[in-house]
């Protein structure tokens, strides 16, 4: 029982801290569903392409795209075709928990190596004429290396994507449905 109370207490303290990593700024609001544009890789992450291996970028963008589509669909804000607004997303940076295939081959790191992972994402919601309606930013890194002990290569980056997608969909749902 003490353990359960300790865990619940820790979650109550940590929840506001985790939410602070999500930043949304609104200049306007779409009135309906949005389309997810192609997700791009930012300069900081692009510079790590030779180290991580370029194929890792495809893996990251596919996962983030699927997360965004799932979350926007869950709040009925994913457009089937043309939409009034389009979401442009950039994976600014990502850090793997374990060495990527390319890193293992070049640097001699082994699969047993692990570390703190995470990601930094930015996004803009734009109208068809390019007017920016909203900007979003989210970053998260696992707080302890112990959390990464049983992680796979991109566990914490994927966790960041999941959280970003959920928070963005909730924020967008609230913005669209409040009429602001």
The top-level CATH class assigned to 23-178 is alpha beta
User: Which pTM was predicted?
Assistant: 0.84
Contact 89, 64 (CB under 8 A): yes
**pLDDT confidence bin for 179, thresholds 50/70/90:** low
Answer whether residue 137 shows pLDDT above 80: yes
Q: Among 74-83, 85-94, 103-112, 116-125, which stretch is predicted with the lowest mean pLDDT?
A: 103-112
Helix (H) or strand (E) holding 43: helix 43-46
H helix count then E strand count, the chain: 6, 6
Nearest alpha carbon to residue 65 among 55, 76, 57 = 57
pLDDT at 108: 65
Contact 141, 118 (CB under 8 A): yes
Tens digits of residue pLDDT in 61-95 = 999 999 999 999 999 999 987 888 999 999 999 99
Residues 6+ apart with CB under 8 A from 82: 35
Dihedrals φ, ψ of 46, to 5°? -55, -35
Q: Specify the pairing of strand 132-141 against strand 22-26.
A: antiparallel
Query: What does the alpha-carbon distance between residue 49 and residue 56 come to, in Å, rounded to a whole number?
Result: 8
Query: What does the alpha-carbon distance between residue 51 and residue 106 come to, in Å, rounded to a whole number?
Result: 8
Query: What does the alpha-carbon distance between residue 8 and residue 96 come to, in Å, rounded to a whole number?
Result: 29
Q: Among 29-38, 53-62, 104-113, 151-160, which stretch is predicted with the lowest mean pLDDT?
A: 104-113
């Amino acid at each position: 029982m003490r353990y359960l109370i300790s865990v619940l207490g820790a979650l109550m303290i940590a929840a506001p801290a985790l939410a602070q990593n999500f930043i949304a700024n609104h200049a306007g609001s779409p009135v309906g569903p949005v389309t997810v544009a192609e997700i791009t890789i930012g300069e900081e992450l692009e510079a790590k392409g030779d180290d991580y291996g370029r194929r890792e970028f495809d893996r990251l963008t596919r996962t983030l795209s699927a997360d965004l589509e799932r979350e926007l669909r869950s709040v009925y804000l994913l457009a089937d075709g043309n939409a009034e607004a389009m979401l442009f997303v950039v994976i600014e940076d990502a850090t793997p928990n374990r060495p990527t295939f390319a890193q293992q081959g070049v640097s001699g790191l082994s699969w047993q190596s692990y570390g703190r992972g995470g990601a930094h994402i930015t996004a803009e919601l734009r109208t068809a004429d390019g007017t920016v309606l909203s900007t979003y930013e989210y970053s998260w890194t696992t707080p302890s290396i112990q959390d990464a002990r049983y992680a796979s290569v991109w566990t914490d980056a994927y966790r960041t994507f999941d959280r970003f997608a959920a928070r963005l969909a909730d924020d967008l749902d609230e913005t669209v449905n409040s009429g602001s």
